[in-house]
Amino acid sequence: MQDGRTTLTQFIIEEQRHVAGATGDFSGLLNDIATACKVIANAVSKGALIGLLGNAGGENIQGEVQKKLDVISNDVMIRSNEWAGHLAGMASEEMDDIYPVAGEHVRGKYLLVFDPLDGSSNIDINITVGTIFSILRSPNPGAQAKLDDFLQPGTEQVCAGFALYGPSTLLIITSGHGVNGFTLDREVGEFILTHPGMRIPEDTQEFAINASNERFWEQPVKRYVDECRAGKTGPRGKDFNMRWIASMVAETYRILTRGGVFMYPKDTKDAAKPGRLRLLYEANPVGFIVEQAGGLCSTGLARMLDIRPTALHQRVPLIFGSKNEVERIERYHRELLTAA
């Protein structure tokens, strides 16, 4: 405790004390991730002052234009986390293949998967972006990681979290015992526990979806959104509000704070893509956090964390947030199936 405040470092050490046989590896890894997030937060906040806005000149494997800050953030995550001996490998939205810890570095027992800068289309317009991460156990501790090692269902996550680079820099983490939120005190240089035990309200009157895709939606999502929009005089008997930030980390934080539902559902826009967002470094970490906060995360037909991944950059339909709303959307999907 510092002036009655709990720092992230203290929080991690206290947590470690409750785990019999803990070696400190996991605590060390979380500290390195937090350091990387501080470095990225600093770069994001300087933006144009140090020439960091704009495109990097390439595309990632998703065919998305890479921003300079995407590339820098990816590099910061790799360099901060490869040296300490906690990891066997890493994988990132910004790298086609896995990144095995190799060469002079000691290999450890964890795998780190991340999206170094989620929502990066928002960078140039100064809207909140963030870093998402997920920690898995390596099936071959101490050995260089292989692609198959990463293809674990979300239920196997040891820890997940995201940093939010907005008006404040925040770090939200879970290691399976609830969700805790920390705010970066820039003067002190430490994340301080400001949001202990975050819980998502079970009911909500707020939904988030990219409505420009409406013509591609499937019937259950169309039905749900139509009913929300019908408001007080419709079947739901209450008015709803809509939000779309186009930055999933920011939407996740809003939902953790005051409830809501987020949907990037399966649609018919591109038959080759079963969804827009990626399972391993977007849907699974968010799903773990949301479930730990009392919410639900689903594809519409199945619990997200139960999906067995088949590819590193696999896309999935993603629906998460307040429990009663996600259950309703899942019911609409099931009803369509039984009617067919």
Q: Which residues bind ligand F6P (CB under 6 A)?
A: 118-119, 121, 210, 246-248, 276-277
Exposure letters 99-117 (e unless 16+ CB within 10 A, then b): bbbeeeeebbbbbbbbbbb
Least distance (Å) from ligand F6P to the CB of residue 132? 9
Least distance (Å) from ligand F6P to the CB of residue 20? 38
For residue 121, what are its two tokens? 């289309």
Judged on CB neighbours under 10 Å (0-12, 13-18, 19+), 62 is middle
Q: Which is nearer to ligand F6P, 254 or 276 (CB)?
A: 276
Least distance (Å) from ligand F6P to the CB of residue 53? 17
Which of 218, 246, 256 has the alpha carbon at shortest distance from 337? 218
Q: Which is nearer to ligand F6P, 101 or 164 (CB)?
A: 164
Q: Which is nearer to ligand F6P, 188 or 246 (CB)?
A: 246
Least distance (Å) from ligand F6P to the CB of residue 122? 7
Q: Which is nearer to ligand F6P, 13 or 242 (CB)?
A: 242
User: Any residues with CB less than 8 A from the CB of 295 and at least 6 apart, and which?
Assistant: 200, 255, 320, 321, 322, 323, 326
Three-state SS letters, 155-220: HHCCEEEEEEECCCEEEEEECCCCEEEEEEECCCCEEEEEECCCCCCCCCCEEEECHHHHHHECHH
Query: Residue with CB nearest ligand F6P?
Result: 248
Give the ranges where 18-129 is alpha helix by DSSP (H): 25-46, 68-81
Q: How many CB atoms lie within 10 A of CB 243?
A: 14
Least distance (Å) from ligand F6P to the CB of residue 46? 21
Q: Which is nearer to ligand F6P, 80 or 247 (CB)?
A: 247
Task: Evaluate whether 155 touches 286 at the Cβ level (below 8 Å).
Answer: no
Least distance (Å) from ligand F6P to the CB of residue 119? 4
What is the distance between the alpha carbons of residues 244 and 229, in angstroms, rounded to a whole number? 15
Q: Which is nearer to ligand F6P, 94 or 149 (CB)?
A: 94
Tell whether the torsion through CA atoms of 315, 321, 324 and 329 is positive or negative: negative
What is the distance between the alpha carbons of residues 169 and 83, in angstroms, rounded to a whole number? 25
Which residues are registered as beta bridge partners of 164? 130, 170
What is the distance between the alpha carbons of residues 177 and 293, in angstroms, rounded to a whole number? 9
Least distance (Å) from ligand F6P to the CB of residue 289? 15
Q: Which is nearer to ligand F6P, 70 or 82 (CB)?
A: 70
Q: Which is nearer to ligand F6P, 26 or 281 (CB)?
A: 281
Least distance (Å) from ligand F6P to the CB of residue 247? 5
